[in-house]
Amino acid sequence: MSYLINHFEVVAPLFLQHVQLTLTVLFFSLLIGVPLGLLLARVAWLRGPVMSVLGVIYTIPSLSLFVLLIPLFGLGTRPAVVALTAYAQLLLVRNWLVGLTTIDPAIIEAARGMGMNGWQRFWQVELPLAMPMLLAGIRLVSLSSIGIGMIAAFINAGGLGLLLFQGVTTANYEKIFAGGLAASVLSFSANFLLRYLERRAENVIRGKTA
């Protein structure tokens, strides 16, 4: 704790780097995962093969994947973002797909009966109803990226993991504790905020369907 207080000017930039890395991963994960999940919801025969591939990617050890990406992207944040975005797809797409495919078909038929076209049904009916599951996926991706992102310091991606690696190398337990505590605060904050948004979305849906 004393290192965290006495070296705040060192920890703060690393904390912000970790936040930036997590947000960047979240952005690219949504950019890929939301259209992919929507495609799988519409084309059922693709679900098995695509989810199997995403499952295989998720089982690759993080450090191994980081190292494999170095020849393509070099050291730094780029291989970390690519690897973490790849890991995120299983968590995000699975939740998003469940949210879309568990909507009561009667609701979709009612929307069709009201004359809504495909995009109108998606924006006004499917997206709001699937939003809690999508937010749950975003929460899982955020927490996963914060945790696995600690290892990304090994490939010079910065972030709070740098404190852990430096602490282990120099046997500085205060550095290790400071890095772990800062990462825990970040994880707790992200989980609290996104869980709050999930509950809000769930309450809005209950209010509309009541």
pLDDT tens, position by position, 77-128: 899 999 999 999 999 999 999 999 888 888 888 888 787 877 888 888 888 8
At 39, the pLDDT band (50, 70, 90 cuts) reads: very high
Helical (H) or strand (E) element with 163: helix 161-170
Burial of 112: CB neighbours in 10 Å, binned 0-12, 13-18, 19+:
middle
Three-state DSSP class for residue 1: coil
Q: How far is CA 97 from the centre of its chain?
A: 15
**pTM listed for this prediction:** 0.88
User: 2-209 falls under which CATH superfamily?
Assistant: MetI-like (1.10.3720.10)
Residue 153: pLDDT over 90:
no
Percent residues over pLDDT 70 in the chain:
95
Query: How many C-alpha atoms does 34 have within 13 Å on its Cβ side?
Result: 14
Question: Do the Cβ atoms of 167 and 173 come closer than 8 Å?
Answer: yes
Provide CB contacts within 8 A for 101, sequence distance 6+: 41
Q: Residue 103 corresponds to which tokens in the numbers above?
A: 């909507």
Domain ranges (residues) in the chain: 2-209
Provide CB contacts within 8 A for 15, sequence distance 6+: 160, 182, 186
Question: Do the Cβ atoms of 167 and 174 come closer than 8 Å?
Answer: yes
Cα radius of gyration rounded to whole Å, the chain: 20
Size of the chain, expressed as the number of residues it contains: 210
* Neighbouring C-beta atoms of residue 91, cutoff 10 Å: 23
